[in-house]
């Protein structure tokens, strides 16, 4: 259980998202053929039901909160410290960079880079071990996936491994 305020914001977002799916995403995101045997067979039938169910769940969640006694408070979310937020933002940037780097320098070197950045981002107690692992693991994985499992791990012309 989270604090009432967070639970209310959550249920409101669920309701809004449900309505968005119902009235915007389903009608625009799904192509329905002009002639169908039965409305039950429409490609949009099932997603519409889900959107309605999601909206209803959000409303029920809000009602359940109203019935909850104010003193019945569970543990709250630990508030984010500034450094924690910074690190999380850093990680999202790292993930985006990792993904992009796969097409620039291939998966192996992108992984080496991402691993090394991760070691610095989280301030590993022993950076030498971290960096050695960053170099060794992606190459070992490449050897396994490419040479044993026959998976074509993407590489670029930058330092192509055999």
Partner 1 sequence: MSLMDQIGMGFALVAQWQSVGYLILGVTIGVIAGAIPGMSAVMAVALTLPFTFSLQPIFGILLLLGVYKGGVFGGSIPAILIKTPGTPASSATTIDGYPLAEKGQAGKALDMALYASCIADLVSNLALILFAGWLASFALQFGPPEFFTLILFSLTIIAGVSGDSLLKGCISAILGLFLATVGLDLVYGTDRFIFGSPDLMGGLNFIAVLIGLFAIPEIFAYVRQPKEIDGDVRKLGHVHLTFAEFRRSLKSILRGSFIGVILGAIPGIGAAPAAFVSYSEARRNSPNRANFGKGEIEGVAAAESGNNGVAGATLIPLLALGVPGDVTTAIIIGAFMIHGLQPGPMMFATNGDMIYAIFIGLVLSSAILLLVGGAAIRGFRYIADVPRYVLLPSVLVLSVYGVFAVNNSVFDVAVMFAVGALGYAMLLLRIPAAPFVIAFILGPLLENNFRQSLLMSQGSLDILARGPITWFFWGLTVLAIVLIVRQTMQASRERADLATLSPSPSGAPTAGRAAE
Partner 2 sequence: MTLKSLAVAFGLATTALSATPVLAQYPERPVQIVIPYGPGGATDLSARALASALSSHSSEPFVLVNRTGAGGATGSAAVANAQGDGYTVLAARVGSHTVNPAMKANLPYKLEDFRFVGVYEINPVVCAVAADSDIQSMDDLIAKAKQDPAAVRYSTSGVGSMLQIAAAMVLDSFGVENVKEVTHLPLAGDGEAALAVYQGTATFICTNSSPLASFVKNGQLRPILVTTSEPVEGFDAPTAASLGHEDLESLVGWTGIAGPDDMPDEAAEQWRSWLAEAVKDETFLKFMKQVGSQVDLMSPDESLEFVNNQYQTFSRLVDELGLRVE
Residues near partner 2 (CB under 8 A) are: 31, 33-34, 143-144, 146-148, 150-152, 160
What residues contact 4, with CB distance under 8 A and at least 6 apart? Answer: 65, 68, 70, 73
CA angle 100, 104, 107 (to 5 degrees): 75
Distance of closest approach, residue 162 Cβ to partner 2, in angstroms: 9
Number of residues that make up the chain: 162
> Pick from partner 1, partner 2, none: which does 145 bind, CB < 5 to 8 A by kind?
partner 1
- String of DSSP letters for 46-92: HHHHHHHHHHHHHHHHHHHHHHS-TT---PPPPPPPHHHHHHHHHHH
122 near partner 1 (CB under 8 A): yes
159 near partner 1 (CB under 8 A): no
Binding mask 9-38 for partner 1 (x = CB under 8 A): -x---x------x---x---xxxxx--xxx
Residues 61 to 80 in contact with partner 1, rule: CB under 8 A: 61, 64, 69, 71-74, 77, 80
Distance of closest approach, residue 148 Cβ to partner 2, in angstroms: 5
> Distance between CA atoms of 100 and 156, rounded to whole angstroms?
13
């Amino acid at each position: 259980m989270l604090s009432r305020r967070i639970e209310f914001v959550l249920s409101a977002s669920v309701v809004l998202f449900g309505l968005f799916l119902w009235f915007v995403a389903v009608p625009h995101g799904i192509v329905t053929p002009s002639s169908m045997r039965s409305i039950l067979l429409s490609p949009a039938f099932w997603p519409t039901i889900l959107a309605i169910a999601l909206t209803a769940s959000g409303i029920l969640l809000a009602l359940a909160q109203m019935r909850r006694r104010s003193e019945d408070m569970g543990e709250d979310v630990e508030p984010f410290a500034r450094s924690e937020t910074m690190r999380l933002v850093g990680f999202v940037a790292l993930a985006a960079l990792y993904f992009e780097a796969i097409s620039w320098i291939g998966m192996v070197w992108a992984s080496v880079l991402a691993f090394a950045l991760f070691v610095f981002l989280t301030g590993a107690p022993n950076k030498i071990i971290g960096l050695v692992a960053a170099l060794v693991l992606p190459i070992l994985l490449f050897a396994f996936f490419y040479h044993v499992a026959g998976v074509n791990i993407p590489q670029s012309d930058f330092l192509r491994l055999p």
